[in-house]
Structure 1
Amino acid sequence: MLDRETQLKALMLKGLDGDARAWRVLLSDLAAHLRPFFKRRLFHGESDAEDLVQETLIAIHGKRATWDRGQPFTAWAFTIARHKLIDHLRRQGRRLTEPLDDAAELIADHTVEDGAARRDLSRVLSILPARQRALIHDVKVQGLSMAEAAERHGYSVAAAKVSIHRSFKTLTGRFADGTKGAGHEDG
């Protein structure tokens, strides 16, 4: 079975080549993935989610010629969706924040958000020293136990827990209030 990226990219390519049926199927499939994407991120208002789905589909249609055929389609499409969501929240005077402890959810297998989420997570974690970044990746992304990750990186279990806690504190301080240059601690 093909994954969603492969299916959606194939539909996009056919649509760009003039296949109207493929284009309709692509927009319909995207709408089905965008609805839960927006609903999970909005405070209240399913009608807002539906409006954002439509705005995103219109933007994808209007910007389709800018997509690089050699790049992942879903990362491009969900970047547009994220921008629509951010614009919507700004109009309402709200900031979107999600706890960093749930970072593993950002890169769940086989979602249409994979490419963009992985890139965003890598960018966020890049402010940490390599050793802390690797420890967080192993525990929160790969799903290793704290003991396995601690052993792999030369930490005691207690030191690994402290390091992860400090890393999240650093990341939260850096991204929760929009400041730049949070300090690095290696435990």
Structure 2
Amino acid sequence: MWRKAQAGDEAAYRAALSLMTGRIRAYLRRRLVDQAADVEDLVQEVLLAVHLQRGTHVEGLPVSNWLFAITRYKLVDHWRRQGRQPAATDDLDALDDVASADDGSAAQARRDLRKLLAQLPEAQRRAIELLKLDGLTAPEAAREAGVTESAIKVQAHRGLKRLAAWIRGEHEDR
């Protein structure tokens, strides 16, 4: 469909934008849970950027990767305008994007990650979810969890260390 849209097929372009809109909206809703009013504004910003940058998509590469790169940049711009820095995610957020690319192995990786997270101690799991998956800052995550800022950072660090060891096969106490 995107090839037809790029070739000037107006109906294909409208259909592609319609499909993209739903995916963009879902992606942003997961990251801006408490900012629903901003989601629609960002969807429009992304769609405008997609329109203006439509010639930058490299044929043969998944359109979804290109689309979510634009979406991520717009989301980061939004956070910067609000004075909030996005959390470093060690590529955990990228799993959502990859899974959205309709790749079965990526979807399986996401399910595996969820299973691993479920096996962590509650405090570590919660810290990783708040800081890495939800993108909260350390002070925001600490308030949400009802702990100190240093405690949330320590729990996230320990949890990520444990996850990395499990993935490398170095840690067996799951």
Pairwise TM-score range, normalised by the shorter structure: 0.5 to 0.7
The percent of aligned pairs where both chains have the same amino acid is: 38
Are 1:75 and 1:112, in contact at CA under 8 Å, matched by a contact in 2? yes
Separation of aligned partners in 1, 2:114 and 2:16: 31
Match of 2:161 in 1: 169
What's the TM-score, normalizing by structure 2? 0.56
Cα distance change of structure 1 residues 39 and 19 upon mapping to structure 2, 3 Å threshold: same
What's the TM-score, normalizing by structure 1? 0.53
Separation of aligned partners in 2, 1:75 and 1:37: 13
Map 1:38-187 to 2 at 5 A: 38-97=28-87, 103=92, 106-107=95-96, 111-112=100-101, 140-141=112-113, 168-169=160-161
Give the one of 1, 12, 15 matched to 2:2: 12
Are 1:27 and 1:57, in contact at CA under 8 Å, matched by a contact in 2? yes
| Structure 2, gaps ≥5 residues long | 120-156, 165-169
| Structure 1, gaps ≥5 residues long | 1-10, 119-136, 147-164, 173-185
- Residues 159-180 of structure 1 show CA distances to partners (whole Å, capped at 9, x for unaligned) of xxxxxx86813999xxxxxxxx
Separation of aligned partners in 2, 1:108 and 1:82: 10
Cα offset, 1:37, TM superposition: 0.6
- Residues 114-155 of structure 1 show CA distances to partners (whole Å, capped at 9, x for unaligned) of 6xxx7xxxxxxxxxxxxxxxxxx7x945969x9xxxxxxxxx
* 3-state SS in 2 of match to 1:88: helix
Separation of aligned partners in 1, 2:3 and 2:17: 13
Aligned Cα root-mean-square deviation (Å): 4.0
User: How many residue pairs get matched?
Assistant: 124
